[in-house]
Amino acid sequence: MARLFDAYVIADWTAAEGKKLGENSVWIGVAKRDVRFRLYTETHNVATRAEGEALLASILADHRKRGDRVLVGFDFSLGYPTGTAARLKLTGEPIWSAMWKFIAANIVDKPDNTNNRYQVAAKMNRLMTDEAWPFWGSPANQAQRWLTTTKPPAGAGADIPEYRATENAVRKGRLQPKSNWQMHGAGAVGGQTLVGIPAVRRLLESLGASAAVWPFGTGWRALDAADVEPLSVLVAEVWPSMWPTTAAEGEFKDQAQVRTTAMAFAELDDKGELARAFGPPKDASPELIAQVEQEEGWILGV
């Protein structure tokens, strides 16, 4: 069975302020094949998100010259729980694109990694509820009327889902992903999502028609060679914690995770099982499929 992709790139993002290497910084893992078609991996570490974007662009340009198709996975959410865009009174279709445009217009992320993610979360709270929710969690020096250091009381913003459908699907098992709304604390993904979505948007804009984002741009369905053949890049949301990882001696945890995740998708593709991973569970309702395709997105492999 023909493989869908020639290379697999996994980007472990960060919302950190200030330049940083090592743990909790930007790591990019690549799985690809040598001249004898044997899989191998390489990892890269950069000190800022701007450097991460530049490195990604360079990696993808090299593959494009060779005519390769590349799967690019980002380890933050590409969508928000259903109803978020309506709460923000965003207009325009598709919903996910209106949300991306709003976030990109509000986030300021400077080359030295300083950014305004807490201010944007507070603004979104003000627009959605005029209270300090659904976003929550900040350092004490970032707390204000519309963003608190602690989680809001149970039932606050009860009509706004805490999790997307994909996180709820994961939470049925041993893994417990964080909510998009959590901005601060161990494992929080809210900040990464706010600074990450504009980066993905810029990447897709730079690649034009040769790139697509799953499932928004492709539909939530199993993909075949004909679906990916016109593309040089397909972007997806991934969650490295899904894949068992053992760090080698001297290897950082994030470094091991991007390496392991890139290899996991490469091996699925080798077995002919990756195509099916792009499709919904057998019991997915038409309503859920529409929700995932239009606003929430899905974690590849769930």
pLDDT digits (tens, 9 = 90+) for 217-253: 999 999 999 999 999 999 999 999 988 888 889 999 9
Mean pLDDT of the chain: 94
Is pLDDT above 70 for 39? yes
pLDDT interval class at 172 (50, 70, 90): confident
More confident residue, 157 or 90: 90
Q: Which pLDDT score, from 0 to 100, does residue 35 have?
A: 81
- The encoded tokens of residue 8 equal 């697999």
Q: Quick one: pLDDT band at residue 117, thresholds 50, 70, 90?
A: very high
The pLDDT confidence band at residue 268, using thresholds 50, 70 and 90, is very high
- What average pLDDT does range 102-123 have in this prediction? 98
- Residue ranges per structural domain of the chain: 7-12+20-77+212-296, 84-190
**Mean pLDDT across the stretch 13-38?**
93
Residue 149, sorted as left (phi over 0), alpha (psi -120 to 50) or beta, turns out to be alpha
- Rounded Cα distance, 188 and 191, in Å: 7
Q: How far is CA 193 from the centre of its chain?
A: 7
Give residue-wise pLDDT tens across range 40-87: 999 999 999 999 999 999 999 999 999 999 999 999 999 999 999 999
**From residue 201, how far is each of 95, 121, 212 by CA, in Å?**
14, 19, 11
4 token code pair: 């869908």
Distance, in Å, from the CA atom of 151 to the CA atom of 131, rounded to the nearest integer, reads 12
Backbone angles phi, psi at 259, to 5 degrees: -65, -50
Q: Average pLDDT in the 202-221 region?
A: 97
By the 8 A CB rule, do 80 and 99 touch?
yes
pLDDT of residue 92: 81
pLDDT at residue 1 in the model: 61
Is residue 152 scored above 90 in pLDDT?
A: no
Is residue 269 over pLDDT 70?
A: yes
Q: What is the pLDDT of residue 60?
A: 97
The whole-angstrom distance between residue 110's C-alpha and the CA centroid of its chain comes to: 20
pLDDT value of residue 28: 98
The pLDDT value given to residue 57: 97
